[in-house]
Amino acid sequence: MKHAALSLDYFALAKEAKALNTSGAAKVIRVALLADCATQHLAEITRAIAARNNVQAEVYEGNYDGVDLEILDPNSALYVLNPQYVVILLSSEKLKAHLYASHDRRGFADETIGRLENLWTAFRAQSQATIIQCTFVLPSERAFGNYELKVAESVGSIFTEINYRLAIKARASKNVLLNDVDFLAASVGRTQWFDARMWNMAKTPCRLEHVPLLAQSLLDTVLAASGMFTKCVVLDLDNTLWGGVIGDDGLEGIALGEFDEGEAFVAFQTFIRELKRRGIILAVVSKNEHAAAVLPFREHPHMVLKEEDISVFVANWDNKADNIRLVQKTLNIGFDSLVFLDDNPFERNIVRQFLPDVVVPDLPEDPSLYLETLAGLNLFETASFSEADLQRADQYREEAQRELTKTHFTNINEYLTSLGMEIRLERFNAFNLPRIAQLIQRSNQFNLMTRRYGEAACEAMMSDPSVAPLTVKLADKFGDYGLISVVLLKDAGSDIEIDEYLMSCRVLQRGVESFTMNTIFSYAARQGAKRVTGHYLPTKKNDMVKGFFKSFGFEKIADGEGGASQWALAVDAYQPREIFMTPVANEL
Amino acid sequence: MEKSEIESRLTPIFRDVFNDDALVVTEGMTATEVPTWDSLSNINMIIAVEKAFGVKFSIKDVRNLKNVGELLDLIKRKAP
Which range is least confidently modeled, A169-173, A292-296, A479-483? A479-483
Cα distance between residue A436 and residue A428, in whole Å = 8
- Contacts of residue B16 in chain A, CB cutoff 8 Å? 11, 15
Question: Stretch A353-363: mean pLDDT, rounded?
Answer: 94
Q: Is the pLDDT of residue B59 over 80?
A: yes
Question: Stretch A480-508: mean pLDDT, rounded?
Answer: 92
With pLDDT > 70 as the criterion, what percentage of chain A qualifies?
97
Q: Which of A305, A313, A295 is nearest to A251 (CA)?
A: A295
Edge-first strand order for the sheet with A85-89 is: A55-61, A27-35, A85-89, A130-134, A176-179
**Closest chain B CA to residue A42:** B40
Q: With contact defined as beta carbons under 8 Å apart, do A417 and A459 qualify?
A: no
Q: With contact defined as beta carbons under 8 Å apart, do A175 and A130 qualify?
A: yes
Residue A506: band (very low, low, confident or very high) from pLDDT cuts 50, 70, 90: confident
Of A44, A201, A208, the CB nearest to B59: A201
What pLDDT digit, counting tens, does each position of A25-39 carry?
778 999 999 999 999
Give pLDDT, residue A531.
96
The ipTM estimated for the assembled molecules is 0.83
Do the chains contact at B16 and A15, CB–CB below 8 Å?
yes
Query: CB of A41 within 8 Å of any CB in chain B?
Result: yes
Q: Which of B60, B62, B58, B55 is nearest to B76 (CA)?
A: B55
Beta bridge partners of A60: A32
Give pLDDT, residue A406.
46
Annotate A50-64 with DSSP letters as a single string: HHHTTEEEEEEEPPT
Give pLDDT, residue A263.
95
Optimal mutation site among B18, B40, B60, interface A, most CBs of chain A within 10 A: B40
Q: With contact defined as beta carbons under 8 Å apart, do A455 and A466 qualify?
A: no
| Mean pLDDT taken over chain B | 91
Give pLDDT, residue A497.
96
Q: Is the pLDDT of residue B2 over 80?
A: yes
Optimal mutation site among A42, A47, A61, A197, interface B, most CBs of chain B within 10 A: A197
Do the chains contact at B43 and A197, CB–CB below 8 Å?
no
What pLDDT digit, counting tens, does each position of A40-90 carry?
999 999 999 999 888 999 999 999 899 999 999 999 999 998 999 999 999
Query: CB of A14 within 8 Å of any CB in chain B?
Result: yes
Question: Stretch A531-559: mean pLDDT, rounded?
Answer: 93
Of B16, B59, B62, the CB nearest to A11: B16
Give pLDDT, residue A418.
83
Residue A425: band (very low, low, confident or very high) from pLDDT cuts 50, 70, 90: very high
- Contacts of residue A44 in chain B, CB cutoff 8 Å? 40
- Contacts of residue A202 in chain B, CB cutoff 8 Å? 39, 43
Q: Is the pLDDT of residue A396 over 80?
A: no
Query: CB of B20 within 8 Å of any CB in chain A?
Result: no
Q: Is the pLDDT of residue A197 over 70?
A: yes
The interface residues of chain A toward chain B in range 208-227, judged by CB-CB distance below 8 A, are 208-209
What pLDDT digit, counting tens, does each position of A464-486 carry?
999 999 999 999 887 788 899 99
What pLDDT digit, counting tens, does each position of A427-457 carry?
999 888 988 988 898 888 999 999 999 989 9
Q: With contact defined as beta carbons under 8 Å apart, do A426 and A583 qualify?
A: no
Residue A273: band (very low, low, confident or very high) from pLDDT cuts 50, 70, 90: very high
Query: CB of A18 within 8 Å of any CB in chain B?
Result: yes
A173: burial class by Cβ within 10 Å (0-12, 13-18, 19+)?
Answer: middle
Of A14, A197, A200, the CB nearest to B44: A14
With pLDDT > 90 as the criterion, what percentage of chain A qualifies?
74
Optimal mutation site among A13, A16, A18, interface B, most CBs of chain B within 10 A: A18
What pLDDT digit, counting tens, does each position of A119-168 carry?
999 999 999 999 999 999 999 999 999 999 999 999 999 999 999 999 99
Give pLDDT, residue A509.
81
**Closest chain A CA to residue B46:** A198
Query: CB of A11 within 8 Å of any CB in chain B?
Result: yes
Query: CB of B48 within 8 Å of any CB in chain A?
Result: yes
Element (H, E) at A517: helix A512-526
